Amino acid sequence: MHRRYLLLPIVVLGAIALYRNRLGAYLKQASANVRAFDLPTAGMYDALVATVLEGFYARVAGEVAAAHPGGKLLEVGSGPGRLAVRLARQAPGITLTGVDISEAMVECAARRAAGAGLSERVRFEVGDVGALPLPDQEFDGVVSTLSLHHWSDPASGLAETYRILKPGGEARIYDLAHWLWRPAQDGNRLSQLAAASPFNEGEVEVVRWPGSVPAFVLLRLRRTREAWS
């Protein structure tokens, strides 16, 4: 009987030795996915990542609602719709359009808005930030969270953001801090990106959340001219 018990740890250790490379690769990929806020399915993202960020979304919604208590807003990279629904509840004077490159995310977000009774003011559609399927000068404000580091062509994304904003409109683009995403380091590359865009300039701020952790940055841009010349 004792020999049988001794076999169990031997078998476990043997399995660990046999599958450690495969397990290591899996854990490495899972870690990368979470760090990139990119999980295999929209439902998994919503359950495992978006839920963790509810406090962050609450903060962003408060800031955006204070800046835009009314008007038409666009959310770029709207994901499963958590921020959009929270923002629409907090600012009942706005209408909001969410755009995401993932059809599964758009479907998830639409269900969330419908469940919250907000379908008349909140809608979602599939689209790429580099070629937004939206009219010129349509929106009073733009918000984006944790999407910029996924943009294949940030320059085109900012040019499109500028195009759909009304003169005087503001874009608030929140993304990862420098220790999670190197382009945000010191704000230099983000400032350079803004300076090379139709906006000509932008303000980069460190966002401390949770608590005093400098986990995010905010790139704030404003359209002040009719056309880019």
| 30 and 98 within one domain | no
Residues 6+ away with beta carbon under 8 Å from 25: none
| 58 and 26 within one domain | no
- Using CA atoms, how far apart are residues 87 and 65, in angstroms rounded to an integer? 7
Mean pLDDT across the chain, nearest whole number?
Answer: 84
| Domain-located, residue 42 | no
pTM above 0.85, yes or no: no
Q: What pLDDT, on the 0 to 100 scale, is given for residue 160?
A: 98
| Domain-located, residue 156 | yes
Q: What is the pLDDT of residues 62-75, one digit of tens each?
A: 999 999 999 999 99
| 27 and 117 within one domain | no
Q: What is the pLDDT of residues 134-164, one digit of tens each?
A: 999 999 999 999 999 999 999 999 999 999 9
Residue 223 · residue 199 · CB < 8 Å: yes
| 116 and 143 within one domain | yes
| 172 and 64 within one domain | yes
**Which residues in the chain land under pLDDT 50?**
1-13, 15-16, 18-20, 22-38, 228-229
- Domain enclosing residue 85, as ranges: 49-222
The neighbouring-strand residues paired with 206 are 217
| 54 and 19 within one domain | no
| Domain-located, residue 44 | no
Rama region for 37: left / alpha / beta (φ>0; ψ in -120 to 50; rest): left
| 123 and 75 within one domain | yes
| 85 and 183 within one domain | yes
